[in-house]
Structure 1
Amino acid sequence: MDKLHIAVLMGGWSAEREVSLSSGAGIADALESRGHRVSRIDMGRDVAQRLAELRPDIVFNALHGTPGEDGTVQGMLDLMGIRYTHSGLATSVIAIDKELTKMVLVPAGIRMPEGKMVESESLYSADPLPRPFVLKPVNEGSSVGVAIVREGGNYGAPISRDSAGPWQEFDRLLAEPFIRGRELTSAVLGGEALAVTELRPRSGFYDYDAKYTEGMTEHVCPAEIPDEIRDAAMAMALEAHRLLGCRGASRSDFRWDDEKGLDGLYLLEVNTQPGMTPLSLVPEQARARGIDYAELVERIVAEAMAEGPKA
């Protein structure tokens, strides 16, 4: 592809800032290795002014969480007429919100856990679901703020006000039944599902630390699962990518109850700004398909350049 001036937007102020900085550094290095001119931007409140001064050909959006994954940055870039990677405004608004995502995917036949929104204050008087259940913020990624509430757990019954958990940080939470079994994920790139990876945390569950601390989680890629489960997960990931209108790379996360076969496969969420760190899953699955990191990054840029800026 032609050599471009690419601004890599990273950092910001979300709970996933450090992951974004790691993703952005790797992306910038890869683009420079391919001969592109790269401007690295640790996003602050003056981001629009800096982009106006730089006038890049395209922005590589390496932000995770708000405001880079929720439509805010996408809307700003649309207004400025600047091309950018990954999903657009409407897709970003929907996909970061777990409740809105279900409203799009479940009617189309994508199996997701039944759940309901609860006021955090209500948890101190009664459980919203039979235990075990999961509580998670509706619009955070990387398993930020996820709690599994079990019988005999250390949160209390009902949950104690003094127990550390997402109820102390968020006014409203999504409550879902806990699905026993195995953690799977499948990435989509350029309209094709790449592979399925099984994630085996050394201890506990696949939380933020397990995702981004080397040695805490074993990645099995390709996953050692029946072909029908692999094919179903990849098909669901691709269909979710299509239904939500994702662009570039996305990653769908699953739980699979291996005692129930196909009926035990549930999509949990779709990530429109998947991590690009050395431990991240999209680069790993790309490698399994013979796509090295620099080629992966350039493919994402090429797709965005082909689409062009929003009107």
Structure 2
Amino acid sequence: MNLGALVSETRNPETMDLDALSTLELVQRFNQQDSRVAAAVKATLPAVARAVDAAAEALKAGGRLIYMGAGTSGRLGVLDAAECPPTFGVPHGLVVGLIAGGPDALLRAVEGAEDNPQLGEADLIALNLSARDLVVGLAASGRTPYVLGGLRYARSMGCTTVAISCNPDSPLAGAADIAISPVVGPEALTGSTRLKSGTAQKLVLNTLSTGAMVKFGKVYQNLMVDMKASNHKLMDRACRMVVEATGVAREEAETLLQQTGYEVKPAILMALTGLDAAAAKERLAAHQGFLRGALSR
């Protein structure tokens, strides 16, 4: 595929005068372009929903959610993966971010790493890829060899695969079981896919991981009830969640959390059922960690 023919690489006729604008006009022009991203993502939501369900099923089956990309796309995947343990209380390694060139590529470009499909396969082999895992390939262009190599290997291993790209009918989309292709149009700065394309990919990733965690029992109502209360701010948030979910006084919420080791879900269950900490944790385990299910018993 000719790179110059890609939507994400063409010149934007609405931003041909960036270097002649006042500063306010310049940032307004960028903002006008950014305002189109949400609509592009909206058009892909049926595919995003399928990816959320596939991710949740992978996690329930004991698999992992694995992102892989190069450059900006790779960094976005690593960021989303890194945010899942503190937000949802999942162990490190359940959501994995791979970037072409390895960890050094997070801070500086590793020349040529994205051009080698064997590196994508090798990185998945190093993770001991299992058919239970879900692999998500990220590439704004939809043609990055590192990602294509990884997705092809993942499919050969029996994994469900997802492609997130910003060009229609891309090779990446054709290499995956589920294709998510928000077409945001030419970038304000020609070819700089860290702009609209990067924003679109981040929106999709946020929705994918958060949606999967909701389906995996990590959320009650709209509260992140499996969050790890690892500092004073998060301990305060844990207390507020118990208060908001149950209506108990703050002092009672603090007492309940002390009894559970600052685990929010059993504290809420205790407040609403009168169970002690051990019984609350036992009931949650019997409902695979789903608080709503434990409460409806």
For normalisation by structure 2, the TM-score amounts to 0.30
More helix by share: 2
